[in-house]
Amino acid sequence: MKQVSVDLSGRSYTISIEAGVFTRAGELLKPVLRSPRAMLITDRSVAALHLQQVSDSLRAAGLQLAEPIVLEPGEHTKSVAAFEDLIEAILDRAMERNVTLLALGGGVVGDLTGFAAATILRGVDFVQLPTTLLAQVDSSVGGKTGINTRHGKNLLGAFHQPRAVLIDPLVLNTLPRRELLAGYAEIIKYGLIDDADFYNWCLAHGTALIEGDLETRSYAIAHSCAAKARIVAQDELESGPRMLLNLGHTFAHALEAQAGYGAGLLHGEAVAVGLVLAAQLSARLDLCSADLAPQLAAHLCALGLPASIADTPCKGTPAEQLLAHMQHDKKVQNGQLTFILMRGAGQSFVARNVRAADVLPLLES
């Protein structure tokens, strides 16, 4: 088992990564939970694949499970209306402050469950059991929870750290290739942020990861979690270094908003395009070599990810319209857009003085 510690004063926890770890969920979680009472929250797709296995493991360890809550899959479930329904469903099950919510699913389930845990009864414990590659390497770690509004992505939320994260690479065998690719975009992002060696590792091993090599997947997951844990430990509430984790995301969130947060454009697909656009913007501003964006785009395209706006449902959207979506981004300060730019692979930084005139040409498709 690979274990990664997220070191936070009074809120530290361990990420446990092991093939088959869901069969040991009860054994691993029982010593961590403050009471034996727990409630699983998942979605319909994940429930059909993994709910029974996880439930059996938890009960075998003596945990007392409430009736599980099964949500509809998809980004549309991260809404105010769905959040209200979830809160009522939790309270319908005689919720008490000593119950731990267990998020079994991808980023939507994790974000929604985490936000519920942060707010219901003024805060209860929760655990992340991520079932998508993107959730395993990104959204399940770090305590960001939230839901979308019609104004943009994750505009309602809270920082609320989990008690534990259990990651089972074997569940990725049930994941569609498209979902695997979406998660890979978040993996290569860590290399671009501050680890050029890992970026080069991704260039060399990305295909093996997507094709199902267990050792490669496990290494990439553990390395990504360690990278995020290190940054979160430095800056839990995103006032400094943690902002670097948003590399590519200012562009990505605008594309997702334009696409309507639907199945036509997954978050990781938008991030892939956003990473290329961030590299293009960096080159346009003479911050990095002009070679980085084409290299990155060629690698992503070879795997099957989109690498330009023209590869997405947002093709043909007026650049001004995409820029308007960016104005609703959480990182806007004093009306100024914030971008994470690069001086090269592994050399990212926060830029607050980017002119719209430099961004608009990149948004043409």
CATH code, 343: 1.20.1090.10
In-domain check, residue 180: no
By the 10 Å C-beta count (0-12 exposed, 13-18 middle, 19+ buried), 53 is classed as: middle
pLDDT tens sequence across 64-78 = 999 999 999 999 999
In-domain check, residue 186: no
Q: Which of 71, 107, 106 is nearest to 86 (CA)?
A: 71
The residue type found at 181 is L
Q: Which of 50, 78, 217, 253 is catalytic?
A: 253
Domain final residue, candidates 132, 150, 174: 174
pLDDT at 94 (0 to 100):
76
Asked if 135 and 106 count as a contact pair (C-beta separation under 8 A), the reply is: yes
238 noted as active-site residue: yes
Q: Which of 50, 78, 144, 217 is catalytic?
A: 144
Q: What is the spatial distance between Cα 365 and Cα 357, in angstroms, rounded to a whole number?
A: 16
In-domain check, residue 34: yes
122 noted as active-site residue: yes
144 noted as active-site residue: yes
Q: Which of 160, 223, 228, 325 is catalytic?
A: 228
In-domain check, residue 27: yes
By the 10 Å C-beta count (0-12 exposed, 13-18 middle, 19+ buried), 87 is classed as: middle
Domain count, the chain: 2
Q: Which of 18, 179, 236, 238 is catalytic?
A: 238
67 noted as active-site residue: no
Domain final residue, candidates 154, 174, 194: 174
Q: Which domain holds residue 252?
A: 231-363
Q: Which of 267, 299, 325, 331 is catalytic?
A: 267
Per-residue pLDDT of the chain (365 residues; tens, 9 = 90+): 999 999 999 899 999 999 999 999 999 999 999 999 999 999 999 999 999 999 999 999 999 999 999 999 999 999 999 999 999 999 999 778 999 999 999 999 999 999 999 999 999 999 999 999 999 999 999 999 999 988 888 899 999 999 999 999 999 999 999 999 999 999 999 999 999 999 999 999 999 999 999 999 999 999 999 999 999 999 999 989 999 999 999 999 999 999 998 899 999 999 999 999 999 999 999 999 999 999 999 999 999 999 999 999 999 999 999 999 998 776 667 668 889 999 999 999 999 989 999 999 999 98
330 noted as active-site residue: no
Q: Which residues contact 171 (CB under 8 A, 6 or more apart)?
A: 22, 49, 50, 131
186 noted as active-site residue: yes
Q: Which of 130, 126, 160 is nearest to 143 (CA)?
A: 160
pLDDT at 218 (0 to 100):
98
pLDDT tens sequence across 76-100 = 999 999 999 999 999 999 778 999 9
In-domain check, residue 194: no
Element (H, E) at 102: strand 100-105
In-domain check, residue 144: yes
Specify the pTM. 0.95
Determine how many CB atoms are found less than 10 A away from the CB of residue 287.
17
What crossing angle do the helices spanning 177-194 and 196-211 adopt, rounded to 10°? 170
Tell whether 22 and 129 lie within a shared domain.
Answer: yes
pLDDT at 330 (0 to 100):
64
Q: Which of 50, 160, 249, 331 is catalytic?
A: 249
In-domain check, residue 264: yes
pLDDT at 153 (0 to 100):
85
320 noted as active-site residue: no
Tell whether 131 and 239 lie within a shared domain.
Answer: no
Tell whether 141 and 241 lie within a shared domain.
Answer: no
Tell whether 21 and 144 lie within a shared domain.
Answer: yes
98 noted as active-site residue: no
Q: Which of 18, 75, 186, 256 is catalytic?
A: 186
In-domain check, residue 201: no
Q: Which of 150, 60, 54 is nearest to 109 (CA)?
A: 54
Domain final residue, candidates 153, 174, 195: 174
Q: Which of 189, 217, 242, 331 is catalytic?
A: 242
At 135, which CATH number? Answer: 3.40.50.1970
